[in-house]
Structure 1
Amino acid sequence: MSKVNKSIRDQYNKYPYPEPVKDMEEYLKVTNYESCPTLNSNLLWPTTGYPEKPFNILCAGCGSSEAVGLAMKNPLANVIGIDISNSSLSHSKSLKKKHKLANLTLKKLDLHQVESLGQKFDLIVSSGVLHHLPDPKTGFQALRKVLADDGSFTCMLYGKYGRVGVYMFQELAKLLDLKQDDDSVSVLKEMCATVPALHPVKLVTDAFHDSKYDAGLVDLFLNPQDTAFSVKDIMQMADDTDFVFHTWLDNYLYYPQSLPVAQTQLFNKISALPAQQQWEFMEKFTCAIPRHSFILTHPDRDPEDYAIDFNENTIDKYIPVWAPSTFVTSPLNMEPFGQVNYRRKKYDFAANEYGAKLLGYMNGKNTAQKCIELARKALGNKELDFFPVFDYMYRAGHVQMLIKK
């Protein structure tokens, strides 16, 4: 084990991360792990849906509770959680015992040694781990070796531009010679409480819970190893380690549909770029992505089973469904046709009467083309162009696409 890895192990032994959960049943009533396949089944398996038979999940760097949550939410899955922190594993083991999880195995293991488990995994989950390795590429390579031929890898990495303020604070911590101890944590709390409102660190401290407790502050500002990634870095890493990039867990911040510039020259110019260049533009233009969450897959997996190429020529191939994070807050069957209001995370949106009618035909069975045909018929106008509605909803992440069997 490298010196850096030992320092990280010692940090997580002293400051278990994330904040230990006392009761997973209560915790899962109000939250969900973004990596959980029950939440992302439409993205992971758009053709077949959530598996109806046992499958294998590896939680690489399971921390104090993530593998437990995965085992509870996925009773058909055989879950293995690995970590190098005794404290984190000890808490996970206590939760396993409390909730009687026969489908969960916990091991103290460096993820570089994951081949020693002697099995392949249908799904690998690694949230906030690989960016703490001295050489993240070695971690990707190790996990690639244990991914099943039709498997997927759900990953979260720090974002280079959205964490600019965090790295400024890390430099300030070095100037003050702060250590991983209680006195230094107190100083960090004072820094967060008094930092000017326009400081870029607020993007992270206001949005995430990490800055609200000691272990989170240590992980943010005093971690001995922290590598952030841009969109371009992620695509390059996927290529270098023989993965195929599949999708973002949430499109919202990666496409210009999230900007209040629809039908402007700027919007049209961004939209004309290839997808990856749109993502790169948005990342640098908004500086609003402190974490990248995405899915990679095995290069031998058939793209017909998972790849989405939604455009005007493929609308009969895809079945639109609401994203799990989207909640309709006004009825879709209002007469006369009024606008539909919906909410995603902390944002409120609305679709006009034509969009509302179209969205009302999303039932998990109708293709996008069928929805459009039904909406045109109901409104008595065959010329209405409904494709931009679905295109916006998909690019903005409000709607996901299943692949018609």
Structure 2
Amino acid sequence: MPDNYLSEVRNQYEALPYPACNPQDEHKRLVLTWLEDLPMVNHYCFAGKQSFQKGFRALVAGGGTGDATIFLAEQLRHTDAQIVHLDMSQASIALAKERAQIRGLSNIRWVHDSLLNLPALAAQLGSFDYINCSGVLHHLADPDLGFKALQSVLKPDGAIGLMVYATTGRIGVYQMQALMRLVNGGETDAQRKIANTRDILASLPPGNWFKRSEDLHHDHKAGDAGIYDLLLHSQDRSYSVGELFDWLGEGAAGGKQGHGLHLAFSDVQRGRSPYLPHMVLGSKPPAMAAALRKLPLRRQYEMAELMGGSIITHSLYLTRNAACSAPYGDTDYVPFFYHEPLTGEIASQVFGNSRGQPFMLRHQHSGVSVTVNPGKYGAKILALIDGRRSFGEIFEQFRAAWQGKAAAPDNAALFADFAESYETLNALERLLLRHVSVAAAAT
């Protein structure tokens, strides 16, 4: 292994592969990773036009024990796509390989190396349509050097799925890390550090900030590797929304240039909802909520992160510009429900009970409560969404059943009327889009 990776970090993941897993569990279930759901990748990274055929190539940089790699490979099993799993830990790669063997996956290439060496590996590995880098950059001495390494093997029209730690939701974690550095002092034995941490966790008073926010965190309940990764890591940093925009987006106000990329945030199971003030403030928003909704998205995201306090990681897609997301307002796009067993009939009933008046949508799966204006026709449009019809076909069918005295609304009027319903469901990642040129099987 090269010397450009922090030795303590490398040793940690050799001794305690992360995330901890039992390969035999592959016989029972498939671990799903949020950013690698192909319909999501297609919607946010390839304008809904990616078929994942024709030599699609994905890199999982810092793939650990293989969650993202296995999920991608399973979804792409019947295509000619290739996934490259790169990791600095031989122990982690061994576990990931065993998982792949159990599933009979042959579309993965295994590389034992540091992601910091990607520029030198480019001739050997080639370039990639999609790169996953989840939970890695924040453990580097120089995260930007790592990000530049990822960009060196990304195709010009490729995309990156990134996860880094979030500052606000991890306040208690960093206080615990500081505490355990004091408790462990000069202790070098990992098992002794873990034992000390378990003892402290069992005795924390209710006023401790980690204790107050413990429901946000799960790693410390999942064995030694989780405890070490969460509370004893030797190299761990976090980011606010604003810092990510400064670094990866348009840059800081003071003149420091960012990477100029488009950032599309999507929190696990909650989508954009924890980044939008009107969705964070719940069922009794203040009078200013409508005004906040009109502010630039970056500012809304920064405020919502502080309002909610529950974002512990930032998951996002990075693309060259906003046009890489599937556009709302194009009749050649197919809307489809995702992430829960939702049908047009069910959605129509929920949105139709208010008879076209604003109503409080209480979304059980995400915990979000938000006021939605379904418009005059929202419920009827939702009823026609079946994952096969395009908006053009849906609107034609809507007009075919029109019984009003006035002329039936045109496409522009229907898109405008349905916009808030779409935006709400899309913000929750429950309604996505794909282009008509892409078969439903691809998503």
Residue equivalent to 2:148: 141
Aligned partners of 1:253 and 1:282 also within 8 Å:
yes
Does structure 1 retain, via aligned residues, the 8 Å contact 2:344–2:385? no
Q: 1:42-121 alignment to 2 at 5 Å?
A: 42-66=43-67, 67-75=69-77, 76=79, 77-115=81-119, 116-118=121-123, 119-121=126-128
Q: CA deviation at 1:359?
A: 2.0
For the residues of structure 1 that align with 2:327 and 2:285, how far apart are their CA atoms? 22
1:223 is aligned to 233
Alignment partner for residue 286 of structure 1, among 308, 316, 329? 308
Asked if structure 2 preserves the Cα contact closer than 8 Å seen for 1:114 and 1:142, the reply is yes
Structure 1 residues 276 and 326, CA gap change in structure 2 (3 angstroms): farther
Bigger drift between 341-350 and 173-182 goes to 341-350
The count of aligned residue pairs is 397
CA shift in 2, pair 1:369/1:6, >3 Å: same
Cα separation, partners in 2 of 1:271 and 1:216, compared to 1, 3 Å: same
Q: Which structure 1 residue ranges, 5 or more long, are not aligned?
A: none
1:20 matched to 2:21? The reply is yes
Greater mean deviation of Cα atoms: 76-85 or 40-49: 40-49
Aligned residue number for residue 161 of structure 1: 168
Contact 1:394 1:401 in 2 (8 A): no
Corresponding position of 2:32:
32
The answer to whether 1:363 aligns with 2:383 is no
Contact kept, 8 Å, 1:47 with 1:402, in 2: the verdict is yes
Q: Pick from 322, 336, 344: which aligns with 2:337?
A: 322
Shift, 1:39, TM fit: 5.0
Cα offset, 1:102, TM superposition = 2.0
The alignment yields a C-alpha RMSD, in angstroms, of 3.7
Partner of 2:253: none
Question: Do the aligned partners of 2:373 and 2:420 also contact (CA within 8 Å) in 1?
Answer: no
What is the one-letter code of the residue matched to 1:367? F
Of 403, 424, 427 in structure 2, the residue corresponding to residue 395 of structure 1 is 427
Q: Which is further off, 368-377 or 60-69? A: 368-377
2-structure distance, mates of 1:85, 1:60: 12
In 2: Cα distance, 1:182 partner to 1:399 partner: 46
- Is structure 2 residue 183 aligned with structure 1 residue 183? no
State the TM-score, normalizing by the size of structure 2: 0.77
Q: Which residue of the other structure, out of 229, 251, 262, is the alignment partner of 1:245?
A: 262
| 2:277 aligned residue | 256
Amino acid in the other structure paired with 2:198:
K
Q: In terms of mean alpha carbon deviation, does 152-161 or 322-331 score higher?
A: 322-331
Change (3 A) 1:85 1:53: same
Deviations 1:220-260 (A, max 9, x none): 11111111011111122214563512412321211124231
- Give the equivalent residue in structure 2 for 1:5: 6
| Equivalent residue letter for 1:189 | R
Could you tell me whether the CA contact under 8 Å between 1:28 and 1:69 is conserved in 2?
A: no
Change (3 A) 1:167 1:327: farther
- What secondary structure sits across from 2:385 in the alignment? coil
Alignment of 1:264-279 (within 5 A): 264-279=286-301
Which secondary structure state, in structure 1, belongs to the residue aligned with residue 100 of structure 2? helix
Q: CA deviation at 1:356?
A: 4.2
Alpha carbons 2:245, 2:263 under 8 Å: kept: no
Q: 1:336 to 1:193 in 2, by over 3 A?
A: closer
Match of 1:226, SS?
A: coil
For 1:322, the aligned partner's letter is F
Aligned partners of 1:326 and 1:345 also within 8 Å? no
CA contact (8 A) 2:48 2:326 kept: no
Q: Which amino acid aligns with 2:385?
A: M
Cα 1:186/1:241, change in 2 over 3 Å: same
Whether the 8 Å contact between 2:116 and 2:149 is mirrored in structure 1 is yes
Output the CA distance in 2 between the equivalents of 1:198 and 1:376. Answer: 62
**Unaligned residue ranges in structure 2 (runs of 5+):** 250-256, 355-359, 438-443
Answer whether contact 2:344 2:382 (CA < 8 A) is retained.
Answer: no
Query: After superposition, what is the alpha-carbon deviation per residue over 1:256-295, rounded to whole angstroms, capped at 9, x for unaligned?
Result: 2423157742311220111111111101121111100001
Q: Cα–Cα, structure 1 residues 371 and 8, in superposed 2: closer, same or farther, change >3 Å?
A: farther
Distance 2:350 2:65 in 1: 50
1:230 and 1:108, CA in 2 relative to 1: closer, same or farther beyond 3 A? same
Change (3 A) 1:376 1:246: farther
**Paired position in structure 1 for 2:243:** 233
Q: 1:374 aligns with which of 394, 398, 408?
A: 398
> Once the 2 structures are TM-superposed, how far is the Cα of residue 156 of structure 1 from its aligned partner?
0.4
**Alpha-carbon displacement from aligned partner over 1:145-183 (angstroms, at most 9, x marks no partner):** 100111110010000111111001001101212655223
- Would you say 1:347 and 2:367 are equivalent positions? yes
Q: What secondary structure does 1:176 align onto?
A: helix
- Match for 1:183: what amino acid? R
